[in-house]
Amino acid sequence: MIDIKLIRTNPELVKENIKKKFQDSKLVLVDEIIEMDKLYRETKMACDNLRNQRKTISKKIGALMGQGKKDEAEAVKAEVASIGTELTEKEKLEAELEVKIKEKMMVIPNIIDDSVPIGKDDSENVEVERFGEPVVPDFPVPYHVDIMENLNGIDIDAARKTSGNGFYYLCGDIARLHSSILAYARDFMIEKGFTYYIPPFMIRSGVVTGVMSFAEMEGMMYKIEGEDLYLIGTSEHSMIGKFIDTIIPESELPKALTSYSPCFRKEVGAHGIEERGVYRIHQFEKQEMIVVCKPEDSMNWFHKMYQYTVEFFRTLDIPVRTLECCSGDLADLKVKSIDVEAWSPRQQKYFEVGSCSNLGDAQARRLGIRIKGEDGNKYFAHTLNNTVVAPPRMLIAFVENNLNADGSIRIPEALQRYMFTDCIRKK
């Protein structure tokens, strides 16, 4: 959510940003907000004046009664009652306008960074840099599920019976590989100076609407029936929510946190959920990184965070590239975003394994996360999030890039202390 002062003072900038995101249907909202905001401020001022007027006149009643002027006192009481009736009506209008303005403000997209490439959708995202040499082995690379089934490491058919499409059982060495990657990711981020967290896996609706747009919420979140609770789609939701309605001393920043959680996603409208694989699924686990910092530090953190993911994948001998998300591919709260994509030897192309986002003060403004400067002034924090690793997709990249001709999986040195072996072989 942007600052309403920006809409008041520079509505053309807000409209131009909406056009850059190819959301022209929202242009009318800017003028509607301006008109409603004008009426809201006029109504608020009228309410303040009526309160002061009522307070001033009310003081006369006691004096008149003390002077024995009962009739005059009753007349003043009637005047106070009339003011009260008018005030009640205007207070109701003030509250209604406040709610309506907030609803419209919540769907106005955040102002994107000047460096973001302009494009309609993900087909116009821009490659930034490649790391590692993409290799295609001289033997056929099977489908990732076939590789794992050959090692007795996955059972999708059984999961389909218990839970439906989009679920899986991992077992044996593949399950150990999954857990080892997460453990390594945890320690990798701790060594970078991040504090490790395991957050709540359910959050209230007030947090959900604070960390994401309505469109994302509808397409992602599972709601707990009969309760004001949602299953998290990523630990970012819980971790940013941790700071709701807090004032953080400037001296305590940055807050650099890394969190583990299972993630639950409806994946409404997503293609591939019916496929026999683990690329797009309803349940997975992830190691995330979250930073809360001063506004002037957020872009520096943004670049450091996605580079940590690149470094992590390279220690596991997986070639990756970074891809700048264009304006039309950015979620409404994001200022700037870069995807990290891993090389698939089987498909001979890159695919997304993580995303790093700078959300500016959008989440902080929605959730009331402020910083207190040394001068005592308070201002909104900037928040960022980035995927360290999400093993289901990472497993695809891992088994394909570390596959041997005999179907075994090589374990890179960085992971051997977690797996206690240098190779996974069929038992």
For residue 261, pLDDT over 60 is answered with yes
Instruction: Give yes or no for residue 288 having a pLDDT over 90.
Output: yes
Phi-psi region of 204 (alpha: psi -120 to 50; beta: other; left: phi over 0): beta
Percent of the chain past pLDDT 90, that is, above it, reads 84
At 276, the pLDDT band (50, 70, 90 cuts) reads confident
Q: Which CATH number fits domain 4-105: 1.10.287.40, 3.60.70.12, 3.40.47.10, 1.20.58.2030?
A: 1.10.287.40
* Residue 355: per-residue pLDDT: 96
Count CB neighbours of 31 within 10 A. Answer: 12
Which tens digit of pLDDT belongs to each residue from 306-344?
A: 999 999 999 999 999 999 999 999 999 999 999 999 999
The two tokens of residue 40 are: 């809201």
Identity of the residue numbered 214: F
Close Cβ partners of 232 (under 8 Å, ≥ 6 residues apart): 199, 200, 201, 202, 203, 238, 261, 263, 264
- Rounded Cα gap, residues 190 and 334, in angstroms: 26
Beta bridge mates, 202: 231
**pLDDT recorded at residue 271:** 58
Helix (H, G, I), strand (E, B) or coil at 69: coil
Q: Over the chain, what is the mean pLDDT?
A: 94
Rounded mean pLDDT, 293-307: 98
Residue holding tokens 């009640």?
88
* Mean pLDDT score, 253-280: 83
pLDDT tens digits, 153-194: 999 999 999 999 899 999 999 999 999 999 999 999 999 999
pLDDT tens, 110-148?
Answer: 999 999 999 999 999 999 999 999 999 999 999 999 999
pLDDT over threshold 70, residue 1: yes
Averaged pLDDT, 378-384: 98
Question: Is residue 45 predicted with pLDDT exceeding 70?
Answer: yes
Give 150-214 as a DSSP string. HTT-EEHHHHHHHH-TT--EE-HHHHHHHHHHHHHHHHHHHHTTPEEE---SEE-HHHHHHHS-H
* Extents of the domains making up the chain: 4-105, 122-424
Q: So what's the pLDDT on residue 270?
A: 59
Q: Are 278 and 153 in contact (CB under 8 A)?
A: no
The pLDDT value given to residue 61: 79
CATH number 3.30.930.10 is the correct assignment for the domain at 122-424: yes
**pTM of the shown model:** 0.89
